Structure 1
């Protein structure tokens, strides 16, 4: 049975906790769906169709409409109305964010040819701007930066242009970005960074991913997944993979144990996602044409 989420999450203890998890799941699923099926120039999607899409995942109409409202409030969706018909489209900023995310989600291989150069970012933000701080940290982690100290982050990848773009989008002007091979981590600093990378937890997450999606991967290879099942399976697959790579600093091979299962999981993910893409798209297009109900 396919499940959704990160490496592992305990069951919510109270009804309010379960409701919060359900709201978060619905939003993650819709973001994944739009990232997968939205393309530039597409007409806005009718609300009734999006509600029908989310129903495929067991999300009730009232919760689906609440999800549309929350993503609109977050600036990810733009609501339009023509007569009695309400439709939604991705905002331009959300579309750009999802396109950037797709490049990493669907990257075809691990890079083993590290040149030994690190990218370092040091920044300062107003102490009272907690929202901007949280947003910047989330975007830095997606770019594979990890903190040495609270406002000093590093990655072994060349993210010079990308981090400049993110700083500009967020209006962060007090920062230094540099690329250097002359980079020495003293023992305590290296130990803190390695602890933050959580390589053992990541390895467990990739192994769980392989186990969770192995059955549907075999069925997809055999062409035995119909459109309805393909939409759910591909969305859950991409959703789980997105969560994994979002927690992964994408370290060069020299920092990883030989048994690290990311490469095996990536091969299965890409093969299965490709096999499911066409029937999933077919079902999505059928559902978004569902007429609005009164």
Structure 2
């Protein structure tokens, strides 16, 4: 059976598969290299303000799927992703939890200053911020309506991230209303184009399933295809709280179609 394929030229399936979990480790390693390049004499004093805070930060990072092994020889801590961390499902598999989560009406703004000579590090930092679903107001000014202080604090304790960045709370941003901030920080036009592409793909495959019977192998092929297509359609979705979503937002339609397609496949696989 030839199912309707999903392909978008701006997205790479290998990147979609790999990036969950990897960029946190990359960020921490590169942060350490940058700090040590400035001189490691005061690194541990800054990184570990007290052992209790450090231990708690390590425990939280481990729970999130990252093992940090402290060194005592002046080198950066060892890093390793746990199998649980590598296998953790992205947030877009349960987006309704984020859409329905109340907003506390604070913006969290991350500002960093990284010299041009450290361009590679800067690019990886930006990639990491995207995994947190932060929006970009300017190249070095990123924003989110979610309280990321716990993540920032853990990164500070474990890798002294505040040597290059500062995190602020703000009730207003640039004097704009909340919708204006949202449209400035996230490219919803590009997101809608990709998500509309998914919706067309899903509709065609739902039509193929209607009134026809397929083998388990064919159905599993479609299920795998749809999981990857859904990932591409949702990977750049900030999953903002309901009150911040633009009127033209299509993420909820994508989620509904993904669920409908999965349900239709399951109905055919189950014995009648």
TM-score normalised by L of structure 2: 0.57
1:93 to 58, 63, 81: 81
Question: In structure 2, the residue corresponding to 1:129 is in which secondary structure?
Answer: helix
Say whether the 8 Å CA contact 2:107–2:145 is kept in structure 1: yes
Alignment of 1:126-137 (within 5 A): 126-137=115-126
1:2 to 4, 20, 34: 4
1:31 positional shift:
4.5
Corresponding position: 1:140 with 2:142? no
Match of 2:191 in 1: 202
Question: In structure 2, the residue corresponding to 1:260 is in which secondary structure?
Answer: coil
Q: Can you give the 5+ residue segments of structure 1 that lack an aligned partner in the other structure?
A: 10-20, 33-90, 281-294
Change in Cα spacing, 1:105 to 1:226, as seen in structure 2 (3 Å) is: farther
1:192 positional shift:
7.7
Change in Cα spacing, 1:171 to 1:277, as seen in structure 2 (3 Å) is: farther
d(CA) in 2 for partners of 1:29 and 1:187?
A: 33
Match of 1:104 in 2: 91
Question: In structure 1, the residue corresponding to 2:116 is in which secondary structure?
Answer: coil
Change in Cα spacing, 1:120 to 1:163, as seen in structure 2 (3 Å) is: same
Corresponding position: 1:236 with 2:225? yes
- Range that drifts further, 193-202 or 215-224: 215-224
- Superposition RMSD on alpha carbons, in Å? 4.1
Say whether the 8 Å CA contact 2:237–2:251 is kept in structure 1: no
Could you report, residue by residue, the CA deviation over 1:43-87 in whole angstroms, capped at 9, with x for unpaired residues? xxxxxxxxxxxxxxxxxxxxxxxxxxxxxxxxxxxxxxxxxxxxx
Change in Cα spacing, 1:234 to 1:105, as seen in structure 2 (3 Å) is: farther
Change in Cα spacing, 1:188 to 1:131, as seen in structure 2 (3 Å) is: farther
Change in Cα spacing, 1:187 to 1:132, as seen in structure 2 (3 Å) is: same
2:167 to 170, 177, 181: 177
1:98 positional shift:
4.1
Match of 1:154 in 2: 143
Matched residues, number = 205
Could you report, residue by residue, the CA deviation over 1:254-280 in whole angstroms, capped at 9, with x for unpaired residues? 443434322121122134346658999
Match of 2:28 in 1: none
d(CA) in 1 for partners of 2:155 and 2:162?
A: 11
1:227 positional shift:
3.7
d(CA) in 2 for partners of 1:273 and 1:163?
A: 36
1:5 positional shift:
3.9
Change in Cα spacing, 1:2 to 1:135, as seen in structure 2 (3 Å) is: farther
Q: Can you give the 5+ residue segments of structure 2 that lack an aligned partner in the other structure?
A: 20-78
Alignment of 1:77-92 (within 5 A): none
Corresponding position: 1:256 with 2:245? yes
Say whether the 8 Å CA contact 2:110–2:143 is kept in structure 1: yes
d(CA) in 1 for partners of 2:135 and 2:255?
A: 22
TM-score normalised by L of structure 1: 0.54
